[in-house]
């Protein structure tokens, strides 16, 4: 689907001018390890590929190694082992000046003593462009981010959103191999964050640059990414499209980090093609998606992840692949949805429903039938940690 | 609002009373006396001071010596501040001690130490005589060079701290940002670090210059007869000529000129005019 995206604050000619696109290069991170003190690895065997024009997010809690990984790509940290390849050429040992990445830092790190134009022209000055070319390219880029009339201001005189656009313009003006964004929205309030997320995404689509993005916020990651690499304790726990990691998590960590989930224990699990037949520990038979081929693990015990919004309340006649009985122990009205805690299968299940009639009638103590489709349940390939 | 006796008795302003007494008797009163002396016979004293050929020569010497001292001290201070800024915690403690030790040492001790080092049979000349073909001692003491060495030694900490404070306020990410944008180490320093530390350099320069203009004992110990500075001229009027009125007039002139500099210094941003971004 082709969409016509118009950046707020940009006039038509600038939007049309944006036809010229940067593609970015193929960034390959292969088996990278990093320790700050002996055997205390903060990054363990991290491998990912950033394809031209793609937005890949490293998502994880603090201390998961995501920022260290980004800093190794940028060149501020050296890996202990592994390779960082740009179009096949290993740059892991080059200083940051010799690499060609546009880095946007948390807080933006604009030069406070330079005007907006001087900030954007800085990387061109470092690359010894002539002064007329510096001016032309910088103004061009400021035009693209809609800040041309602010060229003579100091960064301190701009709003947070405008500062971000200057930082992006400065990181893009020298046509980098990729943009590296280190939690650029970390310190902002929710509304501004969402506006700027959209702005980055739109800019990326128009300019076509590949972006490596670091965040700890799963909503931000879901909203912006083409691919998400979920990191935990220095490792990439899972990598895939937002849809893939959300709907088909491999481990309890991934399932839990990307929003709420129900983890159901089963005693028996047989794989048949892409589906799995399992037995919950009260004897009820259930159906779920099997893990991908290479990640299957033969084990008498398995965990199944079912998202709260995928569980439905069934009427007595309705039937579906998974049906269980339970008792509502708590319900909370949250405006756009209601959240129920249901006691079933010997544990507590969270159910999220947007059905308005249900929220009027269902109440604590009611016996209910719950059901979910086979495709909405995912057998996890790992059960520990 | 009524000022009852009780209210006045409870006023927190009473806490200022001791400092008021000390400051009043030790600073304000003598200053007032000096101003009164200076106006003995109307403006006669001022005319006499300003007409004296000594004043022009000594004022010029004071300004020249102070400017050289300021430039040298700020350059050395900048390097020292940068070293403090960039050193690890242990080296930083050592460097701080090297800055603070002379700061806590009396000026007389420092000056006599330099006199001992620089005199004809001092450490430097003893070494020089060994390697020199002429076997003649270098004139290191009782000249302008010696005065400047002694003054730089004294004012160096005053140059270090304003610059160091500004350096601490620089966002470390700016350096990384510059490098990621292609800046060499030299460009990082010349285009980012130095421009951002200039407010500290100006503040340090002004402070050091103000202090330098007031030197009295260093020119006496390390300088020769031609190295008199303005404070020595006040002393000359008061002790050699025993003309307190004229000494007072000169002192008032100095206070006025230095006050202007102090006002400029107060206006000068000291903690990084750009803040923390």
Query: Domain count of chain A?
Result: 2
Which residue on chain A is closest to B276 by alpha carbon?
A: A112
Tell me: do B117 and B239 sit in the same domain.
Answer: yes
With beta carbons under 8 A apart, name residues in chain A contacting B187.
126
In a domain, A119, yes or no: yes
Q: Which domain holds residue A351?
A: 260-380
pLDDT exceeds 90 at position A360: no
Final residue of a structural domain among A218, A247, A276: A247
Instruction: Dump pLDDT digits (tens) for A264-276.
Output: 988 888 888 888 8
Q: What is the ipTM of this complex?
A: 0.80
Q: Chain B closest CA to A166's CA: distance in Å?
A: 13
Residue A127 forms contact with B (CB below 8 Å): yes
In this complex, how many residue pairs, one in chain A and one in chain B, have their CB atoms less than 8 Å apart? 73
Indicate yes or no: CB of B277 within 8 angstroms of CB of A105. no
Contacts of A74 in chain B (CB under 8 A): 176, 180
Same domain, residue pair A232 and A286: no
| Among the partner residues B184, B192, B195, nearest to A97 by beta-carbon distance | B184
DSSP code for B43: T
CATH code, domain with B149: 1.10.3720.10
Tell me, yes or no, whether B14 and B84 share the same domain. no
CA-to-CA distance for A119 and A114, rounded, in angstroms? 6
pTM of the model: 0.80
Closest-CA residue of chain A to B177: A109
Q: Does A276 touch chain B (CB under 8 A)?
A: no
Q: Is residue A252 part of a domain?
A: no
Q: Do A112 and B277 touch (CB under 8 A)?
A: yes
Statement to judge: residues A283 and A307 lie in one domain: yes
Query: Max CA-CA distance within chain A?
Result: 77
A349 touches chain B (CB under 8 A): no
The set of residues, in sequence order, having a beta carbon less than 8 Å from that of B194 and lying 6+ positions away, is none
Does residue B154 sit in the same domain as residue B240? yes
Residue A253 inside a domain? The answer is no
Instruction: List the single residue in A75, A106, A123 with the smallest CB-CB distance to B181.
Output: A123
The verdict on A122 touching B (C-beta cutoff 8 Å) is: yes
* Record: contact B182-A110, CB cut-off 8 A: no
- Residues of B within 8 A of A126 (CB-CB) are 181-184, 187
Domain boundary among A185, A220, A247: A247
Whether residue B193 lies inside any domain: the answer is yes
Instruction: Tell me: do B253 and B131 sit in the same domain.
Output: yes
Q: Are residues A8 and A127 in the same domain?
A: yes
Considering the domain architecture, whether residues B14 and B109 belong to the same structural domain is answered as no
Q: What is the C-alpha separation between B106 and B108, in angstroms, rounded?
A: 5
> What residues in chain B have their Cβ under 8 A from chain A's Cβ atoms?
171, 173-174, 176-184, 187, 191-192, 195-196, 274-275, 277
- B33 and B5 co-located in one domain: yes
Whole-number pLDDT of residue B276: 40
Kindly state whether residue B274 falls inside one of the protein's structural domains: no
Please indicate, yes or no, if residue A351 is contained in any of the structural domains. Answer: yes
Question: How many CA atoms does the CB half-sphere of B46 hold within 13 Å?
Answer: 10
CATH number at residue A208: 3.40.50.300
Are both B17 and B148 inside the same structural domain? Answer: no
Q: Are residues B23 and B93 in the same domain?
A: no
Question: Per-residue confidence of chain B (277 residues) as pLDDT tens digits?
Answer: 566 777 777 888 889 999 999 999 999 999 999 999 999 888 999 999 999 999 999 999 999 999 999 999 999 999 999 999 999 999 999 999 988 988 898 889 999 999 999 988 888 888 888 888 787 888 888 999 999 999 999 999 999 999 999 999 999 899 999 999 999 999 999 999 999 999 899 999 999 999 999 999 999 999 988 899 999 999 999 999 999 999 999 999 999 999 998 898 888 765 555 544 3
Q: B17 and B124 share a domain?
A: no
Is there a contact between B182 and A123 if contact means CB atoms under 8 Å apart?
yes
Domain annotation covers residue A255: no
In a domain, A220, yes or no: yes
Structural domain contains residue B48: no
* Residue A75 contacts B where some CB pair is shorter than 8 Å: yes
Q: Tell me, yes or no, whether A88 and A178 share the same domain.
A: yes
Looking at the 3D structure of chain B, how many domains does it have? 2
**Is A254 domain-assigned?**
no
Nearest CA in chain B to A127: B182
Q: Where in the sequence is the domain holding B226, given as residue range(s)?
A: 53-267
Task: Please report whether residue A98 resides in a domain.
Answer: yes
| DSSP assignments along A89-158, one per residue | EE-TTS-GGGS-EEEE-TT----TTS-HHHHHHHHHHHTT--HHHHHHHHHHHHHHTT-GGGTTS-GGGS
Nearest residue of A to residue B173 by CA position? A109
Q: Which of A186, A217, A247 is the last residue of a domain?
A: A247
């Amino acid at each position: 689907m082709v969409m016509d995206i118009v950046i707020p604050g940009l006039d038509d000619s600038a939007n049309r001018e944006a036809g010229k696109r940067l593609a970015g290069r193929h960034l390959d991170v292969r088996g990278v390890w990093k320790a700050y003190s002996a055997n205390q690895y903060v990054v363990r065997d991290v491998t990912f590929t950033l394809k031209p024009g793609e937005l890949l997010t490293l998502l994880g809690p603090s201390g998961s190694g995501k920022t260290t990984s980004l800093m190794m790509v940028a060149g501020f940290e050296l890996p202990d082992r592994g390779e960082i390849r740009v179009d096949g050429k290993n740059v892991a040992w080059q200083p940051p000046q010799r690499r060609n990445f546009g880095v946007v830092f948390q807080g933006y790190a604009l030069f406070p003593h330079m005007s907006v134009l001087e900030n954007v022209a800085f990387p061109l000055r470092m690359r010894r462009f002539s002064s007329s070319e510096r001016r032309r390219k910088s103004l061009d880029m400021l035009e693209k981010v809609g800040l041309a009339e602010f060229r003579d201001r100091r960064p301190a005189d701009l709003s947070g959103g405008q500062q971000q656009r200057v930082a992006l313009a400065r990181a893009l003006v020298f046509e980098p191999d990729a943009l590296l964004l280190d939690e650029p929205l970390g310190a902002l309030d929710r509304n501004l964050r969402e506006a700027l997320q959209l702005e980055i995404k739109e800019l990326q689509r128009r300019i076509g640059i590949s972006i490596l993005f670091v965040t700890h916020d799963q909503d931000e990651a879901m909203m912006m990414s083409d691919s998400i690499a979920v990191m935990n304790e220095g490792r990439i726990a899972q990598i895939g499209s937002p849809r893939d990691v959300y709907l088909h998590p491999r481990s309890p960590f991934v399932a839990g980090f990307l929003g709420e989930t129900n983890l159901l224990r089963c005693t028996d699990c047989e794989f048949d093609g892409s589906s799995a037949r399992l037995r919950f520990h009260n004897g009820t038979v259930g159906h779920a998606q099997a893990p991908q081929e290479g990640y299957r693990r033969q084990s008498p015990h398995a965990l199944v992840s079912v998202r709260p919004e995928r569980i439905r309340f069934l009427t007595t006649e309705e039937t579906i692949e998974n049906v269980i009985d339970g008792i509502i122990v708590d319900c909370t009205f949250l405006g756009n949805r209601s959240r129920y805690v249901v006691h079933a299968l010997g544990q507590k299940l969270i159910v999220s429903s947007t059905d308005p009639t249900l929220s009027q009638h269902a109440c604590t103590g009611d016996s209910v039938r719950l059901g979910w489709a086979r495709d909405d349940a995912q057998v996890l390939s790992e059960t520990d940690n | 609002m009524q000022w009852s006796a009780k209210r006045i008795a409870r006023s927190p302003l009473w806490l200022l009373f001791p400092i008021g007494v000390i400051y009043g008797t030790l600073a304000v009163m003598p200053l007032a006396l000096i101003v009164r002396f200076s106006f003995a016979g109307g403006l006669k004293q001022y005319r006499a001071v300003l007409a004296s050929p000594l004043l022009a020569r000594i004022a010029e010497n004071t300004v020249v010596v102070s400017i050289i001292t300021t430039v040298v001290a700020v350059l050395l201070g900048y390097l020292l501040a940068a070293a403090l800024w960039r050193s690890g915690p242990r080296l930083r403690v050592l460097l701080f001690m090297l800055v603070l030790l002379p700061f806590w040492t009396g000026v007389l001790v420092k000056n006599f130490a330099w006199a001992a080092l620089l005199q004809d049979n001092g450490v430097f000349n003893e070494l020089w005589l060994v390697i020199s073909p002429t076997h003649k001692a270098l004139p290191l003491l009782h000249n302008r060079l010696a005065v400047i060495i002694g003054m730089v030694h004294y004012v160096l900490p005053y140059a270090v701290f304003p610059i160091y404070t500004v350096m601490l306020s620089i966002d470390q990410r700016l350096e990384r940002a510059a490098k990621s944008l292609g800046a060499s180490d030299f460009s990082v320093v010349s285009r980012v670090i130095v421009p951002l530390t200039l407010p500290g350099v100006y503040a340090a320069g002004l402070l050091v210059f103000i202090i330098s203009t007031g030197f009295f004992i260093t020119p006496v110990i390390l300088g020769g007869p031609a190295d008199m500075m303005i404070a020595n001229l006040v002393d000359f009027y008061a002790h050699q000529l025993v003309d307190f009125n004229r000494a007072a007039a000169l002192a008032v002139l100095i206070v006025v000129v230095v006050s202007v500099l102090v006002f400029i210094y107060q206006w000068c941003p000291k903690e990084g005019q750009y803040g923390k971004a």
